[in-house]
Every structure is written in C-alpha cells, then in structure tokens.
DNA sequence: TCAAAAGTGTTAAGCGTACACCCATGA
DNA sequence: TCATGGGTGTACGCTTAACACTTTTGA
C-alpha cells in the first residue's frame, strides 16, 4: 500500500490488469451426528456442474463482509448468521482462467433453520457431510479444511458453538456438538459440571418435546452475561 | 495455468473497475521492555510524509505471501522471518482515492537482526514502540491492533514467541517476552518449571556474555522435537 | 414393562499458584 | 564488597478425570 505510486501519465492504474476479488462462504451446520457444509452446484464454466462454495465477486463499493452476506442470501437464502472472515486465498493459478483472489468467510448456521433436501434441491444447494464431500471446484476443498480447522480451534475458547444450535437446547445436544467438532468423547457428568460452572448456560422451564423417552430440560446461552463478563477480562474455555 | 488475458469486447465482468489488491506487513520486534513495530515514511500522496506499514501492490502473477515478502525485502531489507496472514481489510473507503483491498500479514523479527536507528533512518524506516505510535496512514493503526491481538492470542498456544528471540536465549529473556506480550507479570519459578516441563526448550552449554552480573545459561527451542510432537497431537500451551 | 436417554456425587491425581533465600559474577 | 540478576523447592487449593446407578417418559 505504501509503495503505491501514481500511475504514469497517459495511463491509468485501472488499465493494469488486476486480480478480480471474490468472496466465498463456508457455511457449516450441525446435523444429528456430523457437521455439514452447504454447497451449490455451479451453473457456469469453469467447473460447470461441480459443487462449489457459495460466493461471488465483490461489488465496486461493497465491503467484503457485506459481499459475503449478499452472496449467501442470493445463492442460499441464508441471512442473519454468524459470519467471520477466515483467510484470503490468492495463489495465482487457483482459477484456471484468470487471477482471482478470494476472501473466504465461514458461517455457522442452525441446520434446522435451513432444511434443504438432504442432497440437492431445486435451487441446486445442498448440505454435504464433511466426511464425504463431492469433488469440489477450484481450491474449495482447501477452504473448507481451513474453516473446519478454525472452528475446531475456536470452539474451545469462544462461545461460538451455540451458533450451531437452536436458541433452546438440551445439555446432551451441547455435549454432542463438542464431541462432533472436537472428534472425541466427553464424559457426561464432567461436561455438565464444567458447562454449568461457567454460569453462562441457564436453565429454562421448558422441556424437550416430540421425543419418545424422558424429556430433557432446555437451556439457553446467556449472551448478555457473556458480553458483560468478557469486558471484565473473563475468558471462556471448555 | 493460462496467463491473464485482456477482457474480450462486449459486456464482461472485467470491464468493471476492480479493486486494487495490496499487501501490508506488520513487523513486530521485541525490545528490552516493549514491542516495537517497523514503519516506513510515505514518500507519496496520499498521506505523504506519514508513517505507514511496509507494503505494496500484488503483482499480476504473484502469490499473496510472496508479495508480502517481496515488499518486506524491498522496503526494509528484512527477509527470512516468520510471516503469517492476518486479515484482509476491504472497507470501500479505506483509501481516499480508489478502492484498495489490503491483505495484511504480520511478521515476527528478531530486533537484534535489524538494528535500525531508534526513530528514523536514512531509508525512512524505523522501529516504533506500540505505546506511542505516530499518526499512521490509512487504517494502518487498526491493522497493527489486529496484529498485536493475534500475537497475544497465539503466543500462548503456539511456540511463536521464539521468533522474537535470538536462537540462543536465557529463560529470563523468554519470561520477559511473555510478560511484555501478555502484559502481566509471571512468577519466575513457576514459569521455569512450566517451560522446562514441556521439554521443548533445551539447555545448551553456553552462557550469556557481556553482562555485568552472573551470566545466565542459554537455551534453545527444539523445533524438530516440537514438530514431531505436534504430529502426535501434542498441543503447546503456556 | 421395556427401551432410551436424563440426571446426579465422590474420589484421586495432577496442575497452577504463592512464596524467599542463597549464589555467581563483574565492576 | 556490593549490586545485580541467576537459580532453586515446597505446600496448598483448585481443576480435571474416572467412574455407575436410579429416574422419567412414551411407546
């Protein structure tokens, strides 16, 4: 940036070839027993017909996160989700035709809010388990790996897991969430003790419904309290 | 693969003005009792004469990290340092004249290897303590904040602190490093116990020199062993 | 009444924390 | 010999980890 020099006379900076700038979104959702990622089917070349991350080019006067949210709504109908910048991918040959730099974002969605059909739907969008992803366009498999690594790293030190659950959840659901993301089993009693000792997950007087065994109590995450504690130096940790 | 080709005639995405893509580098170094950042003086408008991060535009067929390393060498003479992508800043108005998206990197340098004069030198580069930064060009103050936050967060879970020290260091130097970065005092005995228990910092038979009190033993970080442990699931933590 | 998951306490080991004095060295 | 930092151990409290049975509910 600091090395920018004015374009020489007679030429304008816009005459130089510049990379195109895109955003791509890795939307992760939690299913019964695995994480899923939302993919769309590409309708145009290159990689026509392949599965790809939702995304697209950044508008001329549009912020990066704004572009990511716009693409998410346009291509998948998803709005109002947790969205965070992940990494910027800019290898010169990641797009076979011309230089495209992609600012990747990852989003955490409550799967229940976005029930697409299991594989593919009319709009060409579908949830795919991370364990069996189809062939993906461009370097999108790498981008997904980075998103999952970020989630795994961050879920233990930040209360982002709740973004994957409905507003009211059982402690067992929460435990399953950590087990799925961290890929290891947790002890039920120790988990509950730990979670409840943080005093950020508070019990409601509601119970689980539509279940054919003893109904569990529903809890909710107290974000206001969390925000307050963070201001005083509190650090969340599981 | 294929080189960039000029836009074909007619309506095409490439006719639209595109953001320029730059890289900026936050180079952090550890001084006796604070962290310093390497700034250069801008020679051109906008912000002519202001201090700014080293950086510049990404070449047409150049990777992002490659661009960051190139700018670092060109503008400060620094090569061969720890360098990691930080965040991409793309607010539409961050550059007053035209759209520039900047992929920020942060680097950790051994200050001793790059002794510039305390404030400014001939080349217009200088180390500035984070506690009294001059007025900075563009949103560079924000970028520096992000770099420091990343360092603070990461230093506890990854052995990146060593990048700020010479290859042989005393345990007191290492402790000071953590104290400066984390902004809190640590207990000497507990710190040593903890560090040595990780078994990644190993004692050499050398001693500190040029010091007017008892010379401390020098240690080194065993990166090979660390890499080996990481493969088996080990997690570094201070 | 059975199947399925909810809910609940105790103990032992390991880890973090607090704390103070003698030692080696160069000026 | 003095000033400066180097180097060392122990005790206490808290956190983590291991572990199994009873309860509730709907089918």
Structure token pair of residue B116: 């510039």
Average the pLDDT over each of A88-102, A116-130, A182-196 and give the range with the smallest value: A116-130
Going from the C-alpha of B196 to that of each of A101, A124, A236, B222, the distances in angstroms are: 43, 55, 27, 12
Q: Under an 8 A CB cutoff, do A85 and B88 touch?
A: yes
Shared domain for B69 and B49, answered yes or no, is: yes
Q: What would the mean pLDDT of B207-217 be, rounded to a whole number? A: 96
Shared domain for A99 and A62, answered yes or no, is: yes
The answer to whether residue A1 scores a pLDDT higher than 70 is no
B182 lies within 8 A of chain A by CB:
no
- Among A108, A128, A154, the domain-final residue is A154
Instruction: Tell me the per-residue pLDDT of A27-45, one tens digit each, with 9 for 90 and over.
Output: 999 999 899 999 999 999 8
- Establish if B73 belongs to a structural domain: yes
- Establish if B141 belongs to a structural domain: yes
- Establish if A209 belongs to a structural domain: yes
Average the pLDDT over each of A7-11, B14-18, B124-128, B167-171 and give the range with the smallest value: A7-11
Q: What would the mean pLDDT of B216-230 be, rounded to a whole number? A: 97
B15 lies within 8 A of chain A by CB:
no
CA of B220 to C1' of D1 (A): 35
pLDDT value for B114: 83
- Which of A13, A63, A87 lies nearest to residue B90, judging by beta carbons? A63
With pLDDT > 90 as the criterion, what percentage of chain B qualifies?
84
- Among A129, A154, A179, the domain-final residue is A154
pLDDT value for B213: 95
Shared domain for B21 and B134, answered yes or no, is: yes
pLDDT value for B113: 86
pLDDT value for B120: 45
Range of the domain at A178: 167-231
- Give the sign of the dihedral formed by CA B158, CA B161, CA B163, CA B168: negative
pLDDT value for B118: 41
pLDDT value for B67: 98
Average pLDDT, chain A: 91
- Establish if A3 belongs to a structural domain: no
The answer to whether residue B5 scores a pLDDT higher than 50 is no
- The Cβ-side half-sphere exposure at A139, using a 13 Å CA radius, reads 20
Q: Which residues of A touch B138 (CB under 8 A)?
A: 1
The answer to whether residue A222 scores a pLDDT higher than 60 is yes
Number of neighbours of residue B23 by Cβ within 10 angstroms: 30
Average the pLDDT over each of A50-54, A120-124, A226-230 and give the range with the smallest value: A120-124
Q: Which residues of B touch A146 (CB under 8 A)?
A: none
Q: How confident is the model at residue B116 (pLDDT cuts 50, 70, 90)?
A: low
Shared domain for B103 and B146, answered yes or no, is: yes
Q: What would the mean pLDDT of A195-215 be, rounded to a whole number? A: 96
Instruction: Answer yes or no: is B58 CB < 7 A from strand D.
Output: no
With pLDDT > 70 as the criterion, what percentage of chain A qualifies?
90
Going from the C-alpha of B212 to that of each of B206, B207, B208, B215, B216, the distances in angstroms are: 16, 13, 10, 8, 11
- Establish if B85 belongs to a structural domain: yes
Shortest distance, CA A104 to any CA of chain B (angstroms): 10
Q: What would the mean pLDDT of B97-115 be, rounded to a whole number? A: 93
**Which CATH number covers residue B177?**
1.10.10.10
Rounded-to-integer distance, Cα A207 and Cα B199, Å: 49
Question: Helix or strand or coil: residue B75?
Answer: helix
Name the closest residue (CA) to the C1' of nucleotide D24: A214
Average the pLDDT over each of A71-75, A115-119, B218-222 and give the range with the smallest value: A115-119
Rounded-to-integer distance, Cα B176 and Cα B173, Å: 5
- Among B109, B125, B154, the domain-final residue is B154
Q: Which residues pair with A36 in a beta bridge?
A: A29, A129
Q: What would the mean pLDDT of B27-46 be, rounded to a whole number? A: 94
Shared domain for B29 and B129, answered yes or no, is: yes
Q: CB-based contacts of A91: which residues, under 8 Å, 6+ apart?
A: A139, B63
- Establish if A4 belongs to a structural domain: no
Shortest distance, CA A168 to any CA of chain B (angstroms): 31
CA of A148 to C1' of D20 (A): 35
Shared domain for A96 and A180, answered yes or no, is: no
CA of A172 to C1' of D26 (A): 19
Instruction: Answer yes or no: is A172 CB < 7 A from strand C.
Output: yes
The count of domains in chain A is 2
Instruction: Answer yes or no: is B98 CB < 7 A from strand D.
Output: no
pLDDT value for A228: 97
Name the closest residue (CA) to the C1' of nucleotide C9: A189
Shared domain for B26 and B117, answered yes or no, is: yes
Name the closest residue (CA) to the C1' of nucleotide C16: B190
Shared domain for A140 and A195, answered yes or no, is: no
Shared domain for B165 and B191, answered yes or no, is: yes
The strand D neighbours among A residues 199-218, by Cβ under 7 Å, are 211-215
CA of B158 to C1' of D5 (A): 28
pLDDT value for B184: 96
Shared domain for A138 and A199, answered yes or no, is: no
pLDDT value for B16: 63
B144 lies within 8 A of chain A by CB:
no
Q: Which residues pair with A20 in a beta bridge?
A: A100
pLDDT value for B123: 61
Q: Under an 8 A CB cutoff, do A19 and B58 touch?
A: yes
Instruction: Answer yes or no: is A189 CB < 7 A from strand C.
Output: yes
Contact pairs from chain A to chain B, CB under 8 Å: 117
Shared domain for A110 and A35, answered yes or no, is: yes
Shared domain for B26 and B122, answered yes or no, is: yes
Q: Which residues of A touch B40 (CB under 8 A)?
A: 2
Q: Under an 8 A CB cutoff, do B21 and A18 touch?
A: yes
Closest CA to B130 of B76, B72, B181: B181
- Establish if B144 belongs to a structural domain: yes
**Which CATH number covers residue A133?**
3.90.79.10
pLDDT value for A6: 42
- Which of A2, A85, A98 lies nearest to residue B53, judging by beta carbons? A2
The answer to whether residue A120 scores a pLDDT higher than 60 is no
Instruction: Answer yes or no: is A184 CB < 7 A from strand D.
Output: no
Q: Which residues of A touch B150 (CB under 8 A)?
A: none
Which nucleotide is closest to A218, CA to C1'? C6
Instruction: Tell me the per-residue pLDDT of A156-197, one tens digit each, with 9 for 90 and over.
Output: 999 999 999 999 999 999 999 999 999 999 999 999 999 999
The answer to whether residue B93 scores a pLDDT higher than 70 is yes
DSSP 8-state class, residue A136: B
- Establish if A11 belongs to a structural domain: no
């Amino acid at each position: 940036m600091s090395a920018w020099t004015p374009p020489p006379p007679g030429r304008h900076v816009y005459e130089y070839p510049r990379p195109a700038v895109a955003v791509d979104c890795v939307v992760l959702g939690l299913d019964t027993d695995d994480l899923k990622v939302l993919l769309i089917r590409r309708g145009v070349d290159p990689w026509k017909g392949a599965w790809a991350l939702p995304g697209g080019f950044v508008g001329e006067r549009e912020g990066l996160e704004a572009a990511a949210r716009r693409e998410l709504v346009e291509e998948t109908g998803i709005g109002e989700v947790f969205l965070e910048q992940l990494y910027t991918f800019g290898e010169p040959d990641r797009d076979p035709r011309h230089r495209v730099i992609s600012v990747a974002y990852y989003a955490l969605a409550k799967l229940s809010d976005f029930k697409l059909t299991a594989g593919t739907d009319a709009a060409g969008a579908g949830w795919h388990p991370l364990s069996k992803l189809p062939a993906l366009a461009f370097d999108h498999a790498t981008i997904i790996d980075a998103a999952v690594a970020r989630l795994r790293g961050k879920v233990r030190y930040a209360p982002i897991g709740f973004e994957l659950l409905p507003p009211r959840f059982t402690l067992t659901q929460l435990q399953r969430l950590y087990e799925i993301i961290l890929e290891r089993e947790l002890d039920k009693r120790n988990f509950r003790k730990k979670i409840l000792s943080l005093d950020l997950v508070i019990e409601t007087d509601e119970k689980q419904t539509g279940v054919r065994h003893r109904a569990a109590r529903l809890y909710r995450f107290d974000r206001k309290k969390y925000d307050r504690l963070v201001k005083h130096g509190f650090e969340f940790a599981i």
